[in-house]
Amino acid sequence: RLPRTGTYPFCDSLDHLGPLASTVTDLALAYDALQGFDRGDPACARRAP
């Protein structure tokens, strides 16, 4: 799950954040860099790795 900190919510139940990429490998690398716990996002939960 990606933190929503710094984004403008349009509709909490429909909004989806995520990167665009040319390949699945590039997308996996982007998600690895972006995902994680964020104290600034009240909907974000800590999860075991």
Domain coordinates of the chain in residue numbers?
20-49
pLDDT exceeds 80 at position 49: no
**What is the pLDDT, as a whole number, of residue 17?**
72
Closest among 31, 33, 43, 30 to 4, alpha carbons compared: 43
Q: How far apart are the first and last CA of the chain?
A: 12
**What is the pLDDT, as a whole number, of residue 37?**
76
* pTM for the structure as a whole: 0.52
Taking only the tens place, the pLDDT of each residue in 8-44 is 777 766 767 778 899 999 999 998 888 777 777 777 6
Six-digit token string for 17: 């954040």
